[in-house]
Structures are given as C-alpha cells and as structure tokens.
Chain A
C-alpha cells in the first residue's frame, strides 16, 4: 500500500477516513485473496475498490488492460443515469461483475460489486492509465460508484466485514502460509 512515511507529523485523517466507513469482502466468489474494499459514505453512496491484499495490488503485478465489457451484451461503460433519482442505471446484485482486469502474467481477475444497488459510474481513468489502480487503489484508482436503495442503506453492510474483522483474516492467512512453508 502506497503511503509516504510521515516522521514526527501527526496523522492527518485522510478524505476517506473523514467521510467513509471501510467494509470488506474477502475471497470474493470463492477466489482466494481476491478481497474487495467498499467505502461507504455517510450519505450511503458506496465506492467499490480493491483491498490492499488483492493480488492485483501485490508487487510485481503489471496490468495489461482493463475492460468494462462484462458480457457480449453488457458493458458497464454504457451505463447512463439521469435525473435526481438516477433512472436508467444498471442494477447490481452482490455478485454482479463490474470489470475484468488482465495482467501481463496471463492472470485474469473479475471485480464484483459486493453491494446491491444502482450503478452510478465506473472509473474511466483506470482504463486509460491502469497504473493508477495500483498507485492509489483507495482514491483515484476506484472501480465503481454504487447507490444502494434508501431502505437498504443499513442492511447492505450486513454481509460485509469490518476493518478489524478483515485485518484478522489477513493475519490468519499469513500465519497459515508461514505455518506451511
């Protein structure tokens, strides 16, 4: 995770710290370590990002390309939203695919929504410059913005892990790996 070490400087809460709550989903779709981080704003809007433990963010990985064409008929780029009530948006379930990431080592990763709601937008900046996704996964490198239904704004996080729970899982993984090696 890219952060500049701040010597004696008091930690300034970042934009994400101030306005968002971090939720996690680990091993999405059963694929090991493909962890997602959902940033939930106090106004219920969710930003889908990769968690630091995701394979794509590990050193040595190069992204060849990113595609929002998730099936022959559906491209997330075609998502059009209009008006205050965001009509016309593609509706997402927890397992709905958002994009596909192709790496130079031949690996392919699908990023999922993890929350139910209307798709507001996908990040076109990472299409043009995929490295942003690895440099700033929690801000400029976000994947998508989702607006959950008002009635579901609290319940969507029921299936997700808190920061603490996620960290425990990561620790468990590391211990498991060291134990076997």
Chain B
C-alpha cells in the first residue's frame, strides 16, 4: 500500500519537481515503515507518479494562491511558465512526465545523490557481497557501517527549508526519517539474503562502505564542522549560501572504499623459557637483528598463520631477561590477533595448535592455550604489578664461605629493600627509588665460592641488583648482608604466582 496520503501530495510534488527521488520523498513525509523503501526503484517511481496525477483545478489553485512573498520571484515565474507551456494549464504527470523531466532531472536525486537510488538496490549490494566473499573472512554475522559525504546533510536541510516556504508542515525537521536509517532498512535484508547471515550490531565482523561525491564537495565549504553548523546556522543565512532548492548533480556518489575487518580475538596461555639466549621481543638495533628470534615470535607466528591475522600484540605478566629461564608453571601471556580471517576453533583444534608450537621449538613451551576475551589484558597487568614471583639464583662470592655463613639468610622474612633504577635500564626508565619486599629466602650451599638462593619477592623486584648491589644503589643487598662481594651467575624464574589463565587438563 502506497504510504503517502493526500496530506503529503503537495510536498511530494514539490520535491519531485526539484529532482528528489521517491525514497527521499518518503523520508521527508515521515514514512517510517520499512516495507515501502524496499520496493524496487522503478516501481516506486511509477507509483509516485500515479499518486501525483493532478486534477486541473488543484494546480490552478496553487498558481492563484501564490506562496508567501519570501519566495524569489524567479521561482514563481518558473512555475507559471510550466503551466503555460502545457497550453491548457493542465499538467499530466504520466503522459509526458513534464514535471519530472523539465524541472528536475530525476537521474540523480538532489538530496541523496544516488544513495537511496541505485546504491541501496540489489545490484550494488551484490557487488559489495562479492567483495566480502572474496576477502576470505570467516563470519557468522556482520555489522554494516556506511559513511556518507557531509554534503547530504546540507542538501537535506536546504530542501526542507525550501518546502517550508510553500507549505506549513505539520512535520518538523526532526520528523524527517534519517538517510542512514532508511538506507539500512533497505539494504540489511538484501545483505542477509545474499550472504546468508544475520546483521548484528554487536558482531565483530564489520563491512564498511564509504561514499564520496567529489562534484559537490564545494557545497560544504561555507560551513565549519557541517553537522554542528547545520544545527546552529540561521535559516536565512543558510538559504543565502545554498541554492534553493538544491540543484541536481550530474553524477551519483562514488564508492570510495568497501572494506571488511574483523575485531581482534585474544589467545592466552603460559610459557616456559628454556634458553639463556632468547629475548622476549625481537632484538633489533639499527635495523640489524642482534639475537635470533624471540619468545613472542616463537609463539605468535604460529597463531598469526592459523588465525590468518594481519598482526599481533603480545603482552605478558612481566618478563625476564635474555639470559634468564622461566621454569615451573610458566609465565601468563595474552596475544591479541588483529583482523583475524579465521576465528572459530574447537578446543581440540587449540590443543593441536599448542602441540604444534611445542614441537617447533625447544627454547619455549606453552601450556593452557585458550581463547579468551579482551579482559585478558587486564589480568596481565595485574599479574605484572601485584603478584609475587619466586626465583632461584646461583651466586658467587669473592670470599670463601662455609655453610654456616649463609644460614642466617633463611631466617630473614619480609626484608624491605630500596632499589634505585638499575643502571642497566636507567637510559629508558625514570630515575626513582623503589621499595620492594623479599618475602623469604632459602639457601643451598654449593662450594666455597658458590651457593644457590631461592627467594620469593614482591612484583617489580630486580633480582640481579639485589644480589650484586648495582654499585651500592640497591640496599640492602646480598653482598652487604654477607659482607662480601657477591655476583649472580645464573637466574631462573621458578614461579609466577598468578592463577590466570585457567589451567586446562592436557
């Protein structure tokens, strides 16, 4: 059923005359049911013309009751001209389409510039869907985002101002149905049908189309920040600047881009590090790689491939030096996979992925590999800043020692130490003093110049500096406590005391 009523006739005719397309006409008349917009363009055009077929009297009445003086004289003359040109003063819309063809060029709508014409119809949607399918993304739903050139808003306001001159409308500017809304009502069912998935605003898979209209870019130049200005500018000033009614452009909008992107997915786990020659992140100076590979690459490269992602962001609950091993349950990590093309994996597939990573290198091993949500990153931070760690260090002393010389360390609990920013990181960290706690220590005598120290410390404690003292800038330190010169030969992380991510039975 045709959605326009008698009430709408004048406005509809006026708009059609000036070159506005049927769907935009619906919008201006406040048509807010979806079905009419979904009818094919040709059909809408025909129905509209039928609807507007005028009686002789109606039009003459219009001419005899001229619009208010505000209207420019020229426009009024134009209208009378048209009536006269048809001789009898009768305008037949269907027969010669005079209104349509003479006063307006309905090839390109003067308000939507083609958006609600060809760009919401099946052929165009098919073209977009072909691109989506070719992109190789895996998805079960999608969110469609579209961007229009700002000229559209300007033209809409101008048309509205134009109508108001002729017709005191019961509808206000806010009753006009938004272009984007109407566009989505029309296109969403077409997308769903073509791709076989529902549209879901929360979907991680986004298809975005950007339109531009280079021909009319000048329309906006008198307005700063188009939308804000449109709300503020006085109508008179606006009308002075912009042709009334908006002119009919020669060409429709151009499609600037059709892009697809999938929101990031997150994979977490724990890693062990068995090499004393492996950095956490790639070690590159002046474009030259100093050490082969890195923890993050050994884990993430496999994920990048399998998820077909563009890139990754690796984060972990703290990190260890190149020459430090990570033993025990390992250190929690989370990897953000950016724009993944494949996202659905069974837990069996993830298990196999874990095995693949573990087989590929003996420098690192991973466990508890699983898909997680974005809050994973928060867990990483918490683990780094708040949770305790335990270590084992092999210590050398310059003076010869006996078993009894190290026993006293076992009795020290919750030792407070002050650490100035270690010299080895001072080039990239602020100079500060950090107080940290050594919760407990356990010593194992090795020989006259060596012993093993197990210790549990607060997050953020520099262990190496606690042992050798860093030029006396960490106090107290093992050397001071024992009254020797001490140095650290080996360090291992024994545990990172975070119970996240959840352990999986392997």
Residue numbers of A with Cβ under 8 A of B are: 4, 6, 9, 12, 14-15, 19, 41, 43-45, 47, 81-84, 86, 120-121, 123, 125, 132, 139-140, 142, 145, 147
A100 to chain B, nearest CB (A): 21
Interface of B toward A, CB cutoff 8 Å: 396, 398-399, 420, 423-431, 449, 468-469, 471-472, 485, 487, 489
Q: In the complex, are the beta carbons of B487 and A125 less than 8 A apart? A: no
* Cβ-closest 3 pairs across A and B: A140-B472, A43-B427, A81-B431
Given A4-B398, A15-B468, check contact A121 B431 (CB 8 Å).
yes
Q: From the candidates A41, A83, A139, name the one contacting B472 in the complex (CB within 8 A).
A: A139
**11 pairs, CB–CB < 8 Å, chain A vs chain B:** A6-B398, A12-B396, A14-B487, A15-B468, A45-B426, A81-B430, A86-B431, A121-B431, A123-B471, A139-B471, A139-B472
A118 and B193 alpha carbons, distance in the complex (Å): 67
Q: How far is the CA of A44 from the CA of B439 in the complex (A)?
A: 34
- Across the interface, A120 reaches (CB within 8 A) one of B398, B425, B428, B431, namely B431
Q: Are B427 and A44 in contact (CB under 8 A)?
A: yes
Let me know if B472 and A125 touch, CB within 8 A. Answer: yes
| Contact present for B431 and A47 (CB under 8 Å) | no
What's the least CB distance linking B39 to chain A, in Å?
Answer: 63
Inter-chain CA distance A16–B146, complex, in Å, is 62
Min distance, Cβ A40 to any Cβ of chain B, angstroms: 11
B426: chain A residues at CB < 8 Å are 43, 45, 120, 145, 147
- Docked Cα-Cα span, A43 to B489, in Å, equals 21
Given the complex of chains A and B, what is the CA–CA distance between A140 and B426 in angstroms? 17
Is B430 within 8 A of A82, CB to CB?
yes
Question: Which B residue sits closest to A82, measured CB to CB?
Answer: B430
Whether B423 pairs with A84 at a CB distance below 8 angstroms is: no
CA–CA, A14 to B489, complex, Å?
A: 10
Q: A86 vs B428: C-alpha distance in the bound complex, in angstroms?
A: 9
Known: A12-B487, A45-B423. A84 touches B429 (CB 8 A): yes
A12 to B449, CA, bound (A): 11
**B398 surroundings in chain A (CB, below 8 A):** 4, 6
Contact A140 B431 (CB under 8 A): no
Nearest neighbor of A18 in chain B, beta-carbon distance: B487
Interface contact B428-A84, CB-CB below 8 Å: yes
- Complex Cα distance A100/B398, Å? 31
Q: Are A140 and B428 in contact (CB under 8 A)?
A: no
Point out the residues of chain B lying under 8 angstroms from A82, CB to CB: 430
Choose from B399, B427, B469, B489 the contact partner of A4 (Cβ within 8 Å): B399
Q: CA A83 – CA B420 in complex, angstroms?
A: 14
Give every chain A residue within 8 A of B427 (Cβ-Cβ). 43-45, 147
CA distance A4 to B448 in the complex (A): 14
Closest to A142 in B: B471
Besides A84-B429, A120-B426, A139-B471, 15 other A-B contacts (C-beta < 8 A): A14-B487, A15-B468, A15-B487, A41-B423, A43-B425, A43-B427, A43-B428, A45-B423, A45-B427, A81-B431, A82-B430, A86-B431, A139-B469, A142-B471, A147-B427
Does A83 lie within 8 Å of B424, measured CB to CB? no
C-alpha gap A82/B431 in the complex (Å): 7
Closest B residue to A12 by CB, please name it: B396
Chain B residue with the shortest CB-CB distance to A14: B487
Q: Is the CB of A47 within 8 A of B423?
A: yes
Question: Residues of A contacting B429 with CB < 8 Å?
Answer: 84
Nearest CB of chain B from residue A79's CB, rounded to whole Å: 10
Q: Which one of B399, B425, B469, B489 contacts A140 once the chains associate, using CB atoms below 8 Å? A: B469
